[in-house]
Amino acid sequence: MRKRYFLPVIIILLNLAFIWGNSVFNQEQSHQISTMFRGFLSKFFDLKGGADALSDHFIRKAAHVFEYFVLGILLTSFFGRLKLKNCLVIFFAAVPVAAIDETIQIFTERGPAVKDVMIDICGYALGFMIVMLIKRYIGKKNKNLNYNKTE
């Protein structure tokens, strides 16, 4: 492996360990983490209705979106090129990751859900699209700068 890929691969593997590590928790442990995080959020944001305004269900689904949003940003930042083939490979990388995530939950008695896979892919797609738009904007800006230099 080339040196330039070493750090990105390590960062992505840590992100995958975080995602899949959260799936190892059973239902009670997951509930405790959601409750703790809900309390944390209520201290920093003026939530109408206090900590009860956010349900555990909402917290867990938002966590799914966020975990995969970060994965989409990482994979697209490190390996995404503005070519269709590369975009498709990077975009569809989320599907097996999400499938493994839900498969792990079979063994933790939480139960997998196709809905969670879809939520994961939506979070991933958001991260993917943001990075691709930024890359496209930077690419156009660089082309304009190079074009202006040759005049």
The angle subtended at Cα 39 by Cα 64 and Cα 100, nearest 5°, is 20
Mean residue pLDDT of the chain comes to 82
> CA 41 to CA 111: how far, in whole Å?
26
Two tokens, residue 76: 């697209």
Give the pLDDT of residue 58: 82
Domain boundaries, position 36: 3-150
Structurally, the chain folds into a number of domains equal to 1
Does the global pTM surpass 0.75? yes
C-beta atoms surrounding 120 within 10 Å: 26
Establish how many alpha carbons lie within 13 A of residue 113's alpha carbon, considering only the half-sphere containing its beta carbon. Answer: 11
Question: Over the stretch 26-63, which tens digit does the pLDDT of each residue have?
Answer: 888 888 888 888 777 777 666 555 555 567 778 888 88
> CA 101 to CA 54: how far, in whole Å?
24
Two tokens, residue 139: 């690419």
Give the pLDDT of residue 107: 87
